[in-house]
Amino acid sequence: MIRLLLAFLLVFQFSFAEDNNVSAESTPTDTVADTPPVAATQPAGPQIVYLSYSSVPNKIIHGEIFAVTIKSLSTDSNYQDISFTFENGSHIVLIDDKTTQTKEGNYFYDTFYFQVTGSSATLPNIVATASDDAQGTYPTTTTLKGQTLNVITLNPRSDFSNVIAEEFNLLTHKITSYDKNNNIVLFTATATRSDLSRMKMKDVTKQGIESIDNSFMSPKITYYAIIKKGVQSFDFTYYNLKNQTFEKISIPIIVDDDKVTTMSDLDPKDQQFTGLKLAITIIFLLILFALIMWKKKYKFLVILILPIAYLVYLMKPADSMCVKQGSSVYLLPLTNGTIFEKTTSQENLEIEGESGNFTKVKLSSDKIGWIKNEDACSN
């Protein structure tokens, strides 16, 4: 009986030792790799910070900006200040590392925004670090493994603008003549939860972004496209995340011939009727002169002064400026605007207008562009 009792105690002691070893191996470490070792006399404490996903979208569109909310709990009141870092991840970009934090009871909820850049994606590992600086203790970390996302790739329409947004609103637009064969469409728009820098249209001669405020929650863009004359409307679609449909934006092509515009001073000087005005003025002068001579009312010759002055005005050559060789020609009068060509030699160009430090000129190709005043010839 004593032998049986001793054997039982030995088996029990061996089993207890194995359980302790398994438990020690399965408990995740709470310290980063370069954390100094804890003194041997200081026992390893329990896990302090617990993490879990509170909100992850069930499906995400390729290119979409979306929110992920992390739920955290600290079991030690001295470790309430938690910071986050992100490791690895696949086909995903962290848009802003500044968290939007709320608190409910003992739980903290931190929201981060990401953007999917591939047809498949995995969230990065999220590492939460908490420390008690007042006590001088080492920081403790907890890692939440990155989750694989359900990414949907759109099958877009031919007029898709590559924009994915909760909302897209057209603020202003303007259409002017660019050259003999093309018009230019310029518009300003805002969106919600969108990356407007992705905007790109199909079947346009030239396009680009003149300015952009790419704050992802409320971005704003000024965009231009050069299209063929004869096109009746400039149409494109964007994907609406709320309605989960492609929605159409249509801009009617009505060419604006104003000399000055409040949006950009873009449109060229309209001279298509100059020849007609000259002909009408000359015919009017001849008829008036013939009537005066026929009626022999010579005192009315003074009336001819006004139409003659107008005729001189029409025939007056346009002002010009000398432009240096290699000067950049801008599409719009913006310092960081699009450069669509450079002058190949020093030349005199007809002046069409002015805006700030820019002068609007007519190129030898009949295109309209903007030259910085500093690029004018020095003599």
The answer to whether residues 239 and 279 belong to one domain is no
- Residue 197 above 90 pLDDT? yes
pLDDT in tens, 312-359: 766 666 677 888 888 888 877 776 677 778 888 888 888 877 777 888
Supply the pLDDT for residue 137: 55
Predicted confidence at residue 5, as pLDDT, reads: 36
**φ and ψ at residue 322, rounded to 5 degrees:** -85, 125
- 294 and 310 co-located in one domain: yes
Mean pLDDT along residues 255-269: 44
Residue 219 inside a domain? The answer is yes
336 lies in the same domain as 287? no
Q: What is the pLDDT of residue 315?
A: 67
The reported pLDDT for the residue numbered 362 is: 82
Range of the domain at 349: 320-375
Q: Both tokens of residue 189? A: 């728009």
Q: What is the pLDDT of residue 316?
A: 64
CA 285 to CA 314: how far, in whole Å?
14
Q: Which of 175-184, 190-199, 250-259, 262-271 has the highest mean pLDDT?
A: 190-199
The structure tokens listed for 338 are: 């699009």
DSSP reduced 3-state for 286: helix
Considering the domain boundaries, does residue 268 fall inside one? no
Does residue 368 sit within a domain? yes
Average pLDDT on 125-136 reads: 74
Query: For residues 350-366, b (16+ Cβ closer than 10 Å) or e, as one string?
Result: bbbbebeebbbbbbeee
pLDDT bin (cut points 50, 70, 90) of residue 138 is low
The CA–CA distances, whole Å, from 346 to 62, 268, 324, 332 equal 49, 22, 5, 21
With CA atoms as reference, report the closest residue to 348 among 364, 370, 369.
364
**Do 57 and 118 fall into the same domain?**
yes
Residues 55 and 142 in one domain: yes
CB 21, CB 14: distance < 8 Å: no
DSSP one-letter code for 44: P
pLDDT class for 135, splitting at 50, 70, 90?
A: low
Res 81: pLDDT: 76
- State residue 79's pLDDT score: 66
pLDDT at residue 140, as a whole number? 77
Confidence of residue 34 (pLDDT cuts 50, 70, 90): very low
Asked if 165 and 30 count as a contact pair (C-beta separation under 8 A), the reply is no
Same domain as 172, residue 202: yes
- The pTM for the full model equals 0.61
Q: How many domains does the chain have?
A: 4
Residue 20 lies in a domain: no
Helix, strand, coil % in the chain, rounded to nearest 5? 20, 40, 40
Q: How far apart (Å, rounded) are the C-alpha atoms in residues 162 and 170?
A: 16
- Residue 143 domain-assigned? yes
Amino acid identity for residue 9 in this structure: L
The 10s digit of each residue's pLDDT in 143-192 is: 899 999 999 999 998 999 999 999 999 999 988 887 778 888 999 999 99
Choice between 169 and 19, residue whose per-residue pLDDT is larger: 169
Contact 333, 370 (CB under 8 A): yes
CA distance 304 to 284: 10
The whole-chain average pLDDT of the chain stands at: 77
245 and 278 share one domain:
no
Q: Is residue 180 part of a domain?
A: yes
Cα 85 off chain centre by:
25
For the chain, the farthest-separated pair of C-alpha atoms sits apart, in whole angstroms, at: 156
Banded pLDDT at 122 (limits 50, 70, 90): very high
Q: Let me know if residue 39 belongs to a domain.
A: no
Residue 154 CA to residue 266 CA, distance in Å, equals: 36
CATH of the domain at 370: 2.30.30.40
Q: Does residue 115 carry a pLDDT above 80?
A: yes
**Segment 234-255 mean pLDDT:** 94
The predicted structure's pLDDT at residue 309: 77
Q: What is the pLDDT of residue 92?
A: 94
- Rg from Cα positions in the chain: 36
What is the rounded average pLDDT of the residues 182-209?
91
Looking at residues 302-306, what average pLDDT do you find?
75
| Same-domain pairing of 63 and 123 | yes
CATH number of the structural domain spanning residue 57: 2.60.40.10
Which is more confident, 114 or 337?
114
Q: Are residues 165 and 213 in the same domain?
A: yes
pLDDT greater than 60 at residue 377: yes
More confident site: 102 or 265: 102
pLDDT at 262: 31
What is the per-residue pLDDT across 38-92, written as a single tens digit (0 to 9) for each?
Answer: 222 233 446 778 899 999 999 999 999 999 999 988 887 776 678 888 998 999 9
pLDDT at 269 over 80: no
pLDDT beyond 70 at 98 = yes
Residue 270 has pLDDT above 80, yes or no: no
Provide the 3-class DSSP secondary structure of residue 223: strand
The predicted pLDDT at position 266 comes to: 39
Share of the chain above pLDDT 90, in %: 32
* Measured CA angle at 51 (ends 45, 54), to 5 deg: 160
Angle between helices 305-315 and 274-295 (to 10 degrees): 160
Q: What is the pLDDT of residue 274?
A: 59
Scanning the structure block, which residue is given the tokens 């934090």? 101
Q: Are residues 182 and 241 in the same domain?
A: yes
Given this model, what pLDDT does residue 294 score? 82
- Quick check: is 1 in a domain? no
Closest by CA to 99, choosing from 85, 87, 115, is 85
